[in-house]
Structure 1
Amino acid sequence: MSEQPVGRSGERVVVQLYVVIVALAGVMGFVLGNIRPSDLEPELFGVIALPPTPLGVAIYGLVTVGLGLGVLLALVVYISRHTDDDGQRERQ
């Protein structure tokens, strides 16, 4: 009897990596907020002003990196699900 190799789904690994990167951005934002540079003024999308506190900078990091990578990840997932292996669109 041959055993099948144990592995992870590629999509699952990418999503786990996404979560780790977004969490790391939040942690780095918190650290940067604790350092408190004098010119730190986080603004989400250039509109929503956040306080220059550790929590405010962590939220800024989480949202900006999460949204930026999330849009790209969603685009990759959408394209991968709607194309054939040959690179042609599926007809549904």
Structure 2
Amino acid sequence: MPKRGFSGQRFVLVLYAGLVAVAGTAGFLTATFVDNLEPPAYLFLVEFPATQLGFAAYGALTIATVLGIPLLVVVYVSQYVDDPDAVSPKD
């Protein structure tokens, strides 16, 4: 019977998706309640409109990038970098 619940990769992915959703919601709410906002620029290159949807996309994409790149590095290192001393202790 497969294990259910949140552990390991599933927990990290759910936490990542939740944080991205919170950032998108924060962007949407910011554009809703703050007047005279200037358009945000994702990575200083792509300019989003100063609307609720634009700020929601900007917030979600920014957090997805800021958290996603280090997460991908951790996944890569954990799968492909081998530590020869980790298997057997030195005599």
Q: 1:11 aligns with which of 6, 9, 12?
A: 9
In structure 1, the residue matched to 2:69 is 71
What TM-score do the two structures reach when normalised by structure 2? 0.77
Q: 1:24 aligns with which of 6, 15, 22?
A: 22
Q: How many aligned positions are there?
A: 84
Distance in 1, matches of 2:86 and 2:55, equals 41
Distance 1:82 1:26, change over 3 A: same
Q: Are 1:55 and 2:57 matched, yes or no?
A: no
- Identical residues among aligned pairs (%): 38
Give unpaired runs (5+ residues) of structure 1. Answer: none
Distance 1:75 1:41, change over 3 A: same
Distance in 1, matches of 2:30 and 2:10, equals 30
In structure 1, the residue matched to 2:33 is 35
Contact map agreement 1:36 1:53 (CA 8 A) in 2: no
Deviations 1:35-68 (A, max 9, x none): 1342432111112111111100000001111111
Give unpaired runs (5+ residues) of structure 2. Answer: none
Q: CA RMSD in A?
A: 2.4
What TM-score do the two structures reach when normalised by structure 1? 0.76
In structure 2, the residue matched to 1:80 is 78
Shift in Å, 1:6: 6.5
